[in-house]
Amino acid sequence: MKAKNLILVGFIFSLSVAFCFGLEKGRGQEKIQEKAETKSLIRKDMLLRNRKDLKPPRRNIFTPRKSRIRSAEYALQQSEAGPDATSRTASEGTISGINLNLRYIGYIDSGKKIVAVIIFQGKALAVEKGDVIAEGANIGKITHGEIEIIGPDSKARKYSFEGEEL
């Protein structure tokens, strides 16, 4: 029995010595080195990709523009109204001698208040009721359909909404 145990212990010891010193040491390390040389962590083919030149956008989505339907309606309105319409539209933009170049293009409804988005003399502004946009021109009532501008002599001028209702 002791002989069997000694043989078994000797066999296990020789196996452990063989694995520890690595009889196959040369072959295993060569394979690992070959794999390390061939496969890099950084893919250089992805880094050296040529960039494509993109075409410029067709239009700027942030600049307002009138739809074809609204411009056709406006042209029809102008042709029906005759020469009186031009004098009326010229006086529409002025409040007591102040010339207002204003367009009501959008609104933000938060439940408590409505913030209007307007283009005033080429600049986009977000305004609330009571804001002053020019000397003597205050923002009056704001609704989804129109905005009211109050002049220095308390004369109100209404501008209708130019965007699309959602």
Number of structural domains (the chain) is 1
**Amino acid 67: pLDDT:** 53
Residue-range definition of the domain harbouring residue 28:
1-166
Task: Give one DSSP letter per residue of 40-73, joined into a string.
Answer: -SS-HHHHTPPPPPPPPPSS-TTS----HHHHHH
The string of pLDDT tens digits covering residues 90-136 is 445 555 556 778 899 988 888 888 999 999 888 899 999 999 988 88
The Cα–Cα gap between 18 and 156 comes to 100
Higher pLDDT, 81 or 6: 6
Query: What's the pLDDT score for residue 42?
Result: 76
More confident residue, 34 or 71: 34
Structure tokens at 5: 């145990």
123-150 pLDDT, tens per residue?
Answer: 899 999 999 988 888 999 999 899 999 9
Query: Strand 102-109 to strand 98-99: parallel, antiparallel, or no bridges (unpaired)?
Result: unpaired
